[in-house]
Structure 1
Amino acid sequence: MKKHFYKIIFLLPAIFCVIFSFGQVKKLNDPSIVAHQKRMVFESWGDFRPYPKYTLGIQTNFAYATVWGWLSPSKNQDYKNGADIRPLKPTGLEVQRLVELEFQRAEAEKIKLQVDSLHTRNVQDLAHWTSATVEADPLWLLYYKKMLKPLNLFSENPQNYFEWQLKDDKTYQNMLANGGIAHLKKELDLLKDKYKNSRTLDMPRGKRFLMYHETLIGWRKFNQQIRAFDQKNTLFLDYKKLLSKSKIDIEPYWEPNDVTIVHEVMIAYKNKF
């Protein structure tokens, strides 16, 4: 037991050393990497480290020879001896890409504004076209709803004088007999159908209000026709009633001829001459 305890005590410092060594971060400061970073950004093109070293005219820096010298790949030598390809120089590829991105962003903003305008216009057009928003239209609420309310409340299939808004049942029966009710029923069906279409069909807002206006004019003419039929039938029934109360036997009118007149005169004066 003691042996295990001593082993643990001796191993603890080693464990702490390993943990401490792994926990430290060593800062790497390689001049070649720093020079490469400068070439890759915007500072300057050059400073190709490592530098060559010569002894008696002989290249003795193996690192230079393998990176930039005669032992290096051809692409490294082309890179060193080539043109300035810094991506962040004023005319670099990265700068061009960023400028192009800015142009694309500005163009995207313009397109977004146009799309938003089109969307807003489409929503407005939809609100003007669809029948789902007719109840909220200000002109309908302020005028046509009130003016067309009597037509909307008028019965679709009137069956008596009260529903037809006539004077009495005799007038209704007389109009039913002479075809006046049938004529009014056709006019009423046309008005009801036009009113229903103006409220349920999808159409431009202007056309919808033209239909409202045409329906209102037709409703006024329809009321005038009802009043005219009512007055005419009332007068007819009144005249018929007067004639039935004042029947007079009229003797037939007979106009005598000349022979009859002479005969009557001779009879009247035969004893005087």
Structure 2
Amino acid sequence: MKHYLLAAALFALIAPAAAQQVIRDQHIINQQERMVFKQWDRKKFTPTSGFLGLNPNYWLTWAWHPDYPKKDLRPLGPIGPQTQRLAFAAAMQNTENAYKLHADTLKNTAVTEAVNYSAVFSTADPLWLLYYRYEFEPLLNQQEADLLTGIAVKERDYLLRTGVYDWYREESAGIRERLDGAMNATLDRGSRILAYHRLFLEYRRLNTSWEAKKQYARKFLSLTESAGKMKSREQPIVQREGYRTDRQIADDILSKSKL
């Protein structure tokens, strides 16, 4: 008896499942295909009108929607909403890339201009590092006690007494001050380099004049010392070869006039 009840229960469970059938409606399949991935083919709008348009199912179906077969409603169709969204997203991406490129260009330009004008990077300029730094090194490291090093005591006293030393010290300090101003001012790189070059030429002329004045001082002191010795008879006047007195010259002129 138990076996019969078990068999009846299994039959009751299996019978409804066996009774179900897969429904394959071509109309639904066509609608799914044209809405998802296939073309909006008007020939596949079923049911069709039939012979002479006498198919009642066609009129029952499409009479309520006469414009439906004419409009492509695929989301991914040529003008579908999803296609428009993708196109809009691509356009927005291109716009974003264009804005990003523009912003990067502005940033690079701003950084370049900042480096070009800022005084922070003046000592990192290639021309300064390779040339002007070495040319201005004596001026930048100048010590007043070293200006008279290697000069004789008499020449040193003469330069101090006549004010030549103070003149050079003030002029070099002025060039140093203007050089610091050119290095620390907000200037474009071209103007800064031109300022370096002008100051370098001025510093070169100043050094040339300083060396000339030291040589003149040496010669002047030597001549003064020699003149003093001659005046005091400490150093006799040496008659060089070809030297003649005034009387000898007068006699020579008279002897030639007699001829």
TM-score range, shorter chain: 0.5 to 0.7
Residue aligning to 1:144: 132
Q: Which has the higher contact order (CA 8 A, sep 6+)?
A: 2
> Where do 1:213-228 residues align within 5 Å?
213-228=197-212
Task: Tell me which protein shows more helix as a share of its residues.
Answer: 2
Q: Distance in 1 between matches of 2:84 and 2:94?
A: 15
On the 8 A contact 1:166/1:172 being kept in 2, the answer is no
1:100 aligns with 2:88: yes
On the 8 A contact 1:41/1:87 being kept in 2, the answer is yes
> Where do 1:1-273 residues align within 5 Å?
41=36, 44=40, 85-155=73-143, 158=144, 160=145, 162-165=146-149, 167-247=151-231
Q: Which moved more, 1:34-43 or 1:181-190?
A: 34-43
Q: 1:240 to 1:38 in 2, by over 3 A?
A: same
SS at the partner of 1:246? helix
Q: Distance in 2 between matches of 1:87 and 1:164?
A: 94
Q: Distance in 2 between matches of 1:177 and 1:128?
A: 47
TM-score (norm 2): 0.58
Q: Distance in 2 between matches of 1:168 and 1:87?
A: 102
Per-residue displacement from partner, 1:132-185 (whole Å, max 9, x unpaired)? 333443322222222221222212xx2x5x424572333233233323233222
Percent identity of paired positions between Structure 1 and Structure 2: 27
SS at the partner of 1:154? coil
Count the aligned residue pairs.
200
SS at the partner of 1:210? helix
Q: Which moved more, 1:101-110 or 1:131-140?
A: 131-140
Residue aligning to 2:5: none
Q: 1:98 to 1:149 in 2, by over 3 A?
A: same
Per-residue displacement from partner, 1:25-62 (whole Å, max 9, x unpaired)? xxxx9x999999778656559999xxxxxxxxxxxxxx
Residue 225 of structure 1 and its aligned partner are, at CA, apart by: 1.6
Q: Distance in 2 between matches of 1:197 and 1:34?
A: 85
On the 8 A contact 1:87/1:95 being kept in 2, the answer is yes
TM-score (norm 1): 0.56
Residue 230 of structure 1 and its aligned partner are, at CA, apart by: 1.0
Q: 1:248 to 1:174 in 2, by over 3 A?
A: closer
On the 8 A contact 1:166/1:226 being kept in 2, the answer is no
SS at the partner of 1:127? helix
Q: Which moved more, 1:112-121 or 1:36-45?
A: 36-45
Residue aligning to 2:54: none
On the 8 A contact 1:86/1:92 being kept in 2, the answer is yes
4+ residue segments displaced more than 4 Å: 31-48, 79-86
Q: Distance in 2 between matches of 1:33 and 1:170?
A: 121
